[in-house]
Amino acid sequence: LVINEYNLSCGAEFCDAKRGRILTILERLLRANVPIDAVGIQAHLAPRWPVVPASLEAFLRDVTDLGLAVFINELDVNDIDLPADIATRDRAIAQIYADYLDTALAFQAVKRLGFWGLTDKYHWIVEGYAPFRRTDGTPRPAMFDQELQPKPAYFAVRDALLRAPARAPSRA
């Protein structure tokens, strides 16, 4: 069983509160012998609500202390607040991916990593909910561009994975 939730990554007050509530729920369920295997973090990252590494580390430590695995899923970066210049924006997005993954992957409990789309061409931010889309019509949230060419984000993710400590295979 995986408890999967969003707004667990950012450093905003509402994310801090949600992490606290999730930990309370997890503790209660585990005390009731509910067979929880992992916590899933829907990692929709956004510059307007930046990740605070110390907050993310504390949450991951708390989840680890409960004996649970962590699955990072739906990882993407919403670039709505980043500059219009594509090269500048791509560098900022790559740095957000790198910083997040360097923090998260330092924890052995992180066993899975999934993305919410690999290409800008078919990404929910491009096609989806208007309040999360750039007004200039050029969102670039994924690792590959519209022509499926790797962007700086791809290399940032690759390098973060290469820097991450090796981990034993998991059944979770």
The tens digit of pLDDT for each residue in 39-76 reads 999 999 999 999 999 999 999 999 999 999 999 999 99
CB under 8 Å to 49, separation ≥6 — which residues?
10, 11, 12, 15
Query: Residue 92 in contact with residue 46, Cβ under 8 Å?
Result: no
The pLDDT tens digits for 89-146 are 999 999 999 999 999 999 999 999 999 989 998 888 777 666 777 888 788 999 999 9
pLDDT at residue 79, rounded to an integer: 92
The full set of domain ranges for the chain reads 2-163
- How many residues are there in the chain? 172
Residue 30's DSSP bridge partners are: none
Burial track 7-29 (b if 16+ CB lie within 10 A, e otherwise):
bbbbebeebbebbeebbeebeee
Q: What DSSP element (H or E) covers 91?
A: helix 86-104
CATH class of 2-163: alpha beta
